Amino acid sequence: AATFKRASGAHLADRAAEDADGRRIVYRRRPLGVVAAIVAWNFPLSMMATKIAAALVAGNTVVAKPAPTTPLTTLRAAALLQHAFPAGVLNALGDDGTVGPRLTAHPDVRKITFTGSTATGRHVLGAAADTLKRVTLELGGNDAAIVLDDAEPRAVATGLFNGAFANSGQLCVAIKRAYVPDALYDEVCDQLAALCEGAIVGDGLEQGTQFGPLQNKAQYERVRELRDDAARHGTVMGDAGVVPDQGYFIRPQIVRDVTDGVRLVDEEQFGPVLPVIRYDDPEDALARANASSYGLGGSVWSSNPARARRYAERMDSGSVWINRHPDLAHHIPFAGAKQSGLGVEMGDEGLEEFTQLQVISARD
């Protein structure tokens, strides 16, 4: 509801760019037409609401397609919204994975807004090429958190824990790797391990549960594979406590004494296992953080915000946070760099992505 309320206050008014010497130039934002909104399985309802609200406010019609493993919330929301729109304005389709390619290639679809993996994003972009559809892609990330040597270990550990393990790590902008200096390394690792050991993992319907399961079997098996591979190179910490007997549950845990080149560091795990990498030179940590092909988000942690900003400004990612990770809001643009995506979501810039710029130039 809040997403729709925020979007309804947005305006795409004509803007006079020049009016002098007998020439008047006006910039207009026109609807594109049919928008295909395709989302991933980790936040199916909130992500879909963001896309639908912006597309409709910009004057388009929408075909919304949830992931095959999480269709129910989106279909239910569309059913509840039927009374608010004329027939055909908002449509929702559940599928077995075969409808997405048909939508992305369909000649009547003018715009695709997609959230999902980088691998799938490449296929979406390829399918859109024949008709040169407008495309917004919010894709994977391997967000790095750089802890500077003047940070307070306990506060940093809490921030890293929350930023890495929210939604059991199933978040595109979760912290996926943490670079910690020698001077703080052991203490930060110990603090993180204690937080992991105290985490309450279980059924989300039970009072007190903090972390639920991974969403599907394939993701569960991938995270376990990456963790087991990392355990051969480093030390797993925090994996203590009970989990339900049935379900795709993995406790929050860290792997220390690993470095770049280990799969858990180089790849996007999308689960509750965080590699903690030691460094002795912050310039080296920055270079290693930027070496990834991803560039969705990143963060710098320090007791000196001015110093942190000097590093934040050189992180090669679409969003960078200081002493927090992440920090998202509907009025703040969100965009990925490198292979983390194309285009912008949210904010005024995200709304304009659902329009065609038209320039009208007139002489008296």
Positions annotated as catalytic residues are 138, 172
* CA angle, 208 then 325 then 180, to 5°: 105
341 DSSP assignment: E
Measured in degrees and rounded to the nearest 5, phi and psi for residue 31 equal: -60, 155
Cα–Cα distance, 135 to 129 (Å, whole number) = 10
The distance of Cα 260 from the centroid of its chain, to the nearest Å, equals 22
Query: In 3D, which of 247, 258, 254 has the Cα closest to residue 273?
Result: 254
182 and 171 Cβ atoms separated by less than 8 Å: no
> Which positions ≥6 away from 195 have C-beta within 8 Å?
157, 158, 161, 238, 252
SS3 at position 334: strand
Phi-psi category of 13—alpha, beta or left, where left has phi over 0 and alpha has psi -120 to 50?
A: beta
Are residues 183 and 152 in contact, defined by beta-carbon separation less than 8 angstroms? no
First to last CA, the chain: 46
CA distance linking residue 304 with residue 149, whole number of Å: 10
Cβ neighbors of 305 (< 8 A, separation 6 or more) are: 322, 323
* CA dist., res. 241 & res. 256, Å (int): 19
Q: Quote the tokens at residue 163.
A: 């930023």
CA distance 71 to 215: 13
Q: Where does 103-228 show beta strands of DSSP type E?
A: 109-115, 134-138, 144-147, 177-181
Amino acid, single-letter form, for residue 108: D
